[in-house]
Chain A
Amino acid sequence: DAGVTQSPTHLIKTRGQQVTLRCSPKSGHDTVSWYQQALGQGPQFIFQYYEEEERQRGNFPDRFSGHQFPNYSSELNVNALLLGDSALYLCASSPPGSGANVLTFGAGSRLTVL
């Protein structure tokens, strides 16, 4: 049973460009959360998708947007890239049901902005 898979694993972009990161949740999971993790810091919550809608959002500008597809996979889009967007982007999925659910994380996509 595959866990959470993310692609690409590494990528390099230049300032002003746009990037799309992809995530396939663990089998049986329907909720996807995205996090940004700068070097030496904890993961910062970007947003969460459930039933193809953005359900929760952290303190990130509108340059960060996302999408969830009917098969529960998700994309994170970042426009007008800044040097400060360089980070590890983690996708985490969780199963159906109310209450606190354990998040399963993918290995992340490491973005470098030059």
Chain B
Amino acid sequence: GQNIDQPTEMTATEGAIVQINCTYQTSGFNGLFWYQQHAGEAPTFLSYNVLDGLEEKGRFSSFLSRSKGYSYLLLKELQMKDSASYLCGSYNQGGKLIFGQGTELSVKP
């Protein structure tokens, strides 16, 4: 089966750095996705990790440790527009992408 756990809410200050953690248990694990979802909008793709290590993409980075079943999304130089829900999703070899409950990030001035 698949099980994903991430914090429900986080608050950070504009210009700061925030790390959103995610733990997962997935049979036939085939990758870890992060999506961003603004209120009332569709989720949009941020990152995909299938090998251990850090993937950097501008202000956003994502890390994966397969042995620990652990990932994090790192957001640097936070902007007000980064206030959104961040969805951690694990992908199994059968082609099923399962999401956690989402982490609601609030960026304060």
A108 partner residues in chain B, CB cutoff 8 A: 42
Tell me the smallest distance from the CB of B46 to a CB of chain A, in Å: 10
In the complex formed, the residue of A with least CB distance to B49 is A100
| A72 contacts partner chain B, Cβ-Cβ < 8 Å | no
Residue among B41, B42, B45, B87 making CB contact with A42, cutoff 8 Å: B87
Bitwise, A85-109 to B at CB < 8 A (1) or not (0) is 0000010000000011011111110
| A68 contacts partner chain B, Cβ-Cβ < 8 Å | no
Q: Which of under 10, 10 to 19, 20 to 34, or 35 or more describes the interface residues of A?
A: 20 to 34
Contact between A43 and B43, CB atoms less than 8 A apart: yes
Contact between A100 and B94, CB atoms less than 8 A apart: no
Contact between B95 and A31, CB atoms less than 8 A apart: yes
Q: What are 28 of the A-B contact pairs (CB < 8 Å)? A: A33-B97, A41-B102, A42-B87, A42-B99, A42-B100, A42-B102, A43-B87, A45-B97, A48-B95, A50-B95, A55-B94, A55-B95, A56-B95, A58-B96, A58-B98, A99-B30, A100-B33, A100-B50, A100-B91, A100-B97, A102-B33, A103-B33, A103-B45, A103-B97, A105-B42, A105-B43, A106-B42, A107-B41
**How many angstroms between the C-alpha atoms of A100 and B96 in the bound complex?**
9
B100 partner residues in chain A, CB cutoff 8 A: 42
Residues of chain A at the chain B interface (Cβ within 8 Å): 4, 31, 33, 35, 40-45, 48, 50, 55-56, 58, 90, 99-100, 102-108
B33 partner residues in chain A, CB cutoff 8 A: 100, 102-103
Say what secondary structure dominates the interface of chain B.
strand
Residues of chain B in range 36-54 having any CB-CB distance to chain A below 8 Å: 41-45, 48, 50
| B7 contacts partner chain A, Cβ-Cβ < 8 Å | no
Tell me the smallest distance from the CB of A26 to a CB of chain B, in Å: 12
